């Protein structure tokens, strides 16, 4: 039971709003020491995990590029581009991204989107630009609401879309768990039954985005730019 001390450290550290990287590192050290690895053994395990998964560090190379693009006006250009499309609304922009994200995830291309590389620099500014084009200047509360919906679109689309891909980790995890409990099932069957769930998620979220458009049309100033009061 002592090896579970890492879980306690993680929960306590996040509750106290400490640095997440520091909390996880300390939790890993505590768990390794409790398991009897010793300090050198724990550090060796950290190093082995890093070298075997060093391809993950490639993701961090994207962040400086995104930062430079934002400094050069990427958000402003995205906002201006969508504002020039009269039929664009916040809900429609997010619906389009939801559909593209879910279809790409269903094909196993889960890395094509994401909060850092797509939502923050492109999707959220475009959704805000569409709202400004309809209702005028946005309050901070409305702006944060749109950003929250943009982040939710990415999360929900990839969550329900990736299970349609037969070789995704979640499908293999479900298959392994069922087989351990004596239930034999093919990965293709699991992926097939993920399709109705993904369709339901798409329909339900499209309704939520339509309601978001309706809510935005009722914000102050909407009548002045031709929206519904």
Residue 223 pLDDT = 37
Choose among 156, 165, 163: nearest CA to 115.
Answer: 156
> How far, CA to CA in Å, does 109 sit from each of 58, 71, 162, 201?
17, 28, 8, 19
pLDDT of residue 53: 58
* CA dist., res. 156 & res. 34, Å (int): 37
The pLDDT of residue 196 is: 94
pLDDT of 204: 96
Instruction: Compute the distance between CA of residue 161 and CA of residue 168 in angstroms, rounded to an integer.
Output: 10
User: What per-residue confidence (pLDDT) applies to 59?
Assistant: 55
SS (H, E, C) 173-211: HHHHHHHHCCCCCCHHHHHHHHHHHHHHHHHHHHHHHHH
How much is the pLDDT for 34?
87
Rounded Cα gap, residues 100 and 169, in angstroms: 21
Dist CA 13 CA 166 (whole Å) = 37
85-89: Cβ within 8 A, 24+ apart? 85/130, 86/133, 88/130, 88/133, 89/130, 89/131, 89/134, 89/213, 89/216
196 Cβ contact partners less than 8 Å away, ≥ 6 residues apart:
none
User: How many CA atoms are closer than 13 Å to the CA of 42, on its beta-carbon side?
Assistant: 15
pLDDT along the chain (229 residues), means of 10: 83 86 85 85 77 56 64 73 81 94 90 83 88 85 93 94 83 82 84 91 95 84 39
pLDDT of residue 69: 65
pTM higher than the cut 0.75: no
The beta-strand segments (E) located in 33-123 are none
Give the pLDDT of residue 5: 86
């Amino acid at each position: 039971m002592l090896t579970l001390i890492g879980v306690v450290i993680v929960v306590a550290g996040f509750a106290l709003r400490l640095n997440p990287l520091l909390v996880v590192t300390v939790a890993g050290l505590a768990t390794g020491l409790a398991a009897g690895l010793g300090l050198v053994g724990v550090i060796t395990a950290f190093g082995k995990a890093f070298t075997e998964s060093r391809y993950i560090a490639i993701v961090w190379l994207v962040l400086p590029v995104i930062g430079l693009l934002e400094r050069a006006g990427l958000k402003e250009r995205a906002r201006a581009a969508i504002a020039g499309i009269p039929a664009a609304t916040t809900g429609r922009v997010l619906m389009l991204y939801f559909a593209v994200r879910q279809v790409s995830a269903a094909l196993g291309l889960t890395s094509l989107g994401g909060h850092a590389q797509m939502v923050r620099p492109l999707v959220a500014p475009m959704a805000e630009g569409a709202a400004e084009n309809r209702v005028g200047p946005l309050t901070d509360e409305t702006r944060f609401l749109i950003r929250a919906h943009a982040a939710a679109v990415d999360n929900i689309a990839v969550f329900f879309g990736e299970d349609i891909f037969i070789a995704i980790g979640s499908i293999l995890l479900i298959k392994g768990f069922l087989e351990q409990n004596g239930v034999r099932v093919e990965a293709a069957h699991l992926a097939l039954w993920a399709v109705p769930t993904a369709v339901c998620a798409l329909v339900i979220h499209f309704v939520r985005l339509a309601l978001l458009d309706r809510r935005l049309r009722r914000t102050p100033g909407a009548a002045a730019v031709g929206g519904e009061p």
